[in-house]
């Protein structure tokens, strides 16, 4: 801790070592049913209002933004759930709040050489950054999903966004504390909602059934649906091609109803398993059913 003394009081104190930058996602992002959005960089070059071709050479396109707070929550839940473009985003500004040379606008440049550096060439958009610029990508995707599928529940929409998230060399193995389940894939999220989902029926199932996982093939997560027509001791297990148990996803008593559970491509120790063919099995009393799924490398 660095500090200076002024009139007997400590001023300008700041933490200089042993800084813990984990679990800093804050409310309302820590809410259980909220979709919390992280930010990543999609460009570092642009043309400003005066026709200057500018860049921020320190930025790495497709990498996470330094200001994007990592999780998890203090009770260990994955946060953020998803990441979207949020740094150097060109967004239209209101005629009631144009760029202000006096310095009060978020688009004002501090450089006298390039006074309009953060005003786009068309004069109608400004460049800025923040998770508040990433969140609208997800909100817009959700608006399209609700428009096309007005009967889908908030839980189904949230699940669709998580299940279709993209991973790459920048996200690494997901889910993780910085990226959540990966990068938003708006089109895939919309397409997944169109899948014939056994959970669109509100009635109590009339039989025991293990449904096919979706998406399939998948990477890195998939959803496994199943139905119970009576109260049962249920176990959902994943096996490899050799019949070796990889992970027990659920074990316990459940009442009649339609259920689903996520497998994130990891074993019981939390290690990511290699791509390939796997089997998932449901046992419920005397009932047993097994299906095949494909994890993409």
pLDDT tens for 155-189 read 788 888 988 888 889 998 888 999 999 999 998 88
Is residue 4 over pLDDT 70? no
Q: What is the DSSP letter of 200?
A: G
Using a pLDDT cut of 70, give the percent of the chain over it: 87
Domain ranges of the chain: 23-186, 198-295
What pLDDT sits at residue 97?
A: 66
Please state which of the four CATH numbers 2.60.40.1930, 3.40.50.720, 3.40.50.1170, 3.20.20.70 is assigned to the domain occupying 198-295: 2.60.40.1930
Is residue 151 over pLDDT 70? yes
Chain-wide mean pLDDT for the chain? 85
Q: Who has greater pLDDT, 82 or 297?
A: 82
| CA–CA separation, 263 and 272 (whole Å) | 11
Tell me the pLDDT band of 1, cut-offs 50, 70 and 90.
very low
Is residue 200 over pLDDT 80? no
Residues with Cβ within 8 Å of residue 85, at least 6 apart in sequence:
39, 40, 41, 42, 133, 134, 137
At residue 224, φ and ψ (nearest 5 deg) are -115, 110
Angle between helix 131-148 and helix 154-163 axes, rounded to 10 deg: 120
Tell me the pLDDT band of 3, cut-offs 50, 70 and 90.
very low
Q: Who has greater pLDDT, 16 or 151?
A: 151
| CA–CA separation, 117 and 234 (whole Å) | 61
What pLDDT sits at residue 5?
A: 47
Give the CA-trace dihedral at 68, 157, 257, 294, to 10 degrees: -80
| CA–CA separation, 229 and 55 (whole Å) | 61
Contact (CB, 8 A) for 11 and 4: yes
What pLDDT sits at residue 55?
A: 92
The tokens for 234 are 């249920």
Predicted structure pTM score? 0.64
Is residue 196 over pLDDT 70? no
The tens digit of pLDDT for each residue in 72-100 reads: 888 888 899 999 999 999 988 877 766 66
Judge residue 33's burial from the number of C-beta atoms within 10 Å of its C-beta, 0-12 exposed, 13-18 middle, 19 or more buried: exposed
Taking each continuous run of H as one helix and of E as one strand, the counts in the chain are: 3, 14
| CA–CA separation, 80 and 161 (whole Å) | 12
The tens digit of pLDDT for each residue in 225-274 reads: 899 999 999 999 999 999 999 999 999 999 898 888 888 888 988 888 99
Topology adopted by domain 23-186: Rossmann fold (3.40.50)
| CA–CA separation, 199 and 223 (whole Å) | 12
Which ranges of 205-291 does DSSP label H, i.e. alpha helix? none
Tell me the pLDDT band of 7, cut-offs 50, 70 and 90.
very low
Using alpha carbons, select from 131, 161, 149, 170 the residue that is nearest to residue 29. Answer: 131
Q: Who has greater pLDDT, 241 or 102?
A: 241
What pLDDT sits at residue 154?
A: 85
CB atoms within 10 A of CB 148: 11
What pLDDT sits at residue 57?
A: 93
Is residue 14 over pLDDT 50? yes
What pLDDT sits at residue 2?
A: 44
Residues with Cβ within 8 Å of residue 250, at least 6 apart in sequence:
234, 235, 236, 261
What pLDDT sits at residue 15?
A: 61
Contact (CB, 8 A) for 82 and 183: yes
């Amino acid at each position: 801790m660095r500090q200076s003394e002024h009139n007997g009081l400590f001023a300008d104190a700041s933490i200089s070592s042993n800084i813990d930058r984990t679990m800093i996602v804050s409310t309302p992002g820590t809410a259980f049913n909220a979709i919390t959005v992280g930010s990543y960089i999609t460009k570092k070059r642009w043309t400003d209002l005066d026709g200057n071709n500018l860049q921020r050479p320190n930025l790495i396109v497709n990498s996470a933004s330094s200001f994007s707070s990592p999780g998890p929550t203090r009770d260990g839940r994955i946060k953020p759930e998803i990441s979207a473009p949020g740094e150097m985003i060109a967004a239209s500004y209101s005629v009631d709040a144009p760029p202000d040379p006096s310095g009060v606008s978020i688009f004002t440049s501090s450089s006298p050489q390039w006074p309009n550096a953060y005003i786009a060439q068309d004069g109608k958009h400004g460049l800025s950054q923040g998770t508040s610029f990433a969140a609208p990508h997800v909100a817009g995707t959700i608006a399209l999903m609700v428009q096309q599928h007005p009967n889908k529940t908030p839980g189904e929409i949230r699940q669709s966004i998580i299940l279709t998230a993209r991973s790459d060399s920048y996200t690494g193995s997901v889910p993780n504390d910085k990226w959540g389940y990966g990068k938003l894939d708006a089109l895939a999220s919309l397409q997944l909602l169109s899948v014939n989902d056994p959970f669109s029926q509100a009635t109590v199932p009339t039989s025991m059934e293990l449904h096919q996982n979706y998406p399939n093939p998948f990477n890195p997560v998939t959803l496994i649906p199943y139905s119970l027509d009576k109260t049962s001791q249920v176990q959902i297990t994943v096996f490899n091609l050799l019949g070796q148990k990889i992970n027990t996803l659920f074990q316990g008593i459940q009442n009649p109803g339609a259920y689903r559970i996520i497998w994130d491509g990891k074993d019981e120790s939390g290690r990511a398993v290699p791509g390939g063919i796997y089997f998932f099995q449901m046992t419920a009393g005397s009932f047993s059913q097994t299906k095949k799924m494909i994890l993409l490398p």
